[in-house]
Structure 1
Amino acid sequence: MSSEKTYSLAAPIRKTCDLFRLLAGHEVLGLAPGEIAKGIDVPPSWVSQNLPALATTGYVEQVAGTNRWRLGVQFVRIAVTVGTNLNRAKQQLDDLSARYSVPTDQVERYSR
């Protein structure tokens, strides 16, 4: 029997997460409200009500001069921060690995 506890995610939060996943990959042109509604299986009213509200947080934004939507600046900043931190951690591991590596000319001596 598993000791791992499972949690049920509230429907509005789940749909918002679905929205973020759907918008990922559409950073330039965004998606039209109808495409969003169909993509996350919500009524058009959900899109027209929630996207402008989410835009106030910076997590989504309307593409200038259109009725299309994409991930916003705040979301992208989070992604850039994660990427930067992962690259920094990788560099630290690479540096540590290099410190512990045996120089090539000494490998044969240690393998005897």
Structure 2
Amino acid sequence: MKSQYHCASQQRILKVLMCLFGHEIEGLTPGQVAKLADITAGNATRDLANLEEAGLIERLPGGDKVRISPSLGRKALAILHTLDRAKRQLDDITTRFTHPA
């Protein structure tokens, strides 16, 4: 059952963004993105322009290829840091409960 909040264009742009992961070095052309996301070239170009405007992707110098932006990479690293901090807290609590004072 589809939610009343489902929006095809928003789902498509998220699919485009997900296609870019794993191509951080060489990037992808809009045509490659279109093929991977199984969308039209026009939609790929439009979605990439919106992702670039949002700062989630960047254009590689000297070409038409795009890749995930460093700012998005930093956000992903923030998740890992949060998980690491939570693990240290859990390890501390576990140690306090399992080792007598």
Flag whether TM exceeds 0.5 (same fold).
yes
Q: TM-score, with normalisation over the residues of structure 2?
A: 0.85
- Matches of 2:84 and 2:17 in 1, distance apart? 24
The one-letter code of the counterpart of 2:16 is L
- Matches of 2:72 and 2:95 in 1, distance apart? 35
- Choose which of 47, 62, 84 in structure 2 pairs with 1:87: 84
- Matches of 1:9 and 1:71 in 2, distance apart? 25
Q: Which runs of 5+ in 1 are unaligned?
A: 104-112
Contact 1:58 1:73 in 2 (8 A): no
Q: Which runs of 4+ in 1 moved over 2 A?
A: 5-9
The one-letter code of the counterpart of 1:95 is D
Query: Corresponding residue for 1:47?
Result: 44
Number of residue-to-residue matches in the alignment: 99
- Matches of 1:54 and 1:33 in 2, distance apart? 12
SS at match of 1:65: coil
- Choose which of 7, 12, 17 in structure 2 pairs with 1:10: 7
SS at match of 1:70: strand
RMSD of equivalent CA atoms = 1.9
Q: TM-score, with normalisation over the residues of structure 1?
A: 0.78
Task: Report sequence identity in percent.
Answer: 30
- Matches of 2:95 and 2:2 in 1, distance apart? 41
- Matches of 2:31 and 2:2 in 1, distance apart? 33
Query: Corresponding residue for 1:107?
Result: none
- Choose which of 88, 92, 97 in structure 1 pairs with 2:94: 97
The one-letter code of the counterpart of 2:26 is L
Question: Alpha carbons of 1:29 and 1:6: their partners in 2 closer, same or farther (altered >3 Å)?
Answer: same
For each residue in 1:5-28, what CA deviation from the matched residue of structure 2 results, as whole angstroms up to 9, or x when unmatched?
Answer: 963521111111111211111111
Q: Which structure has the bigger radius of gyration?
A: 1
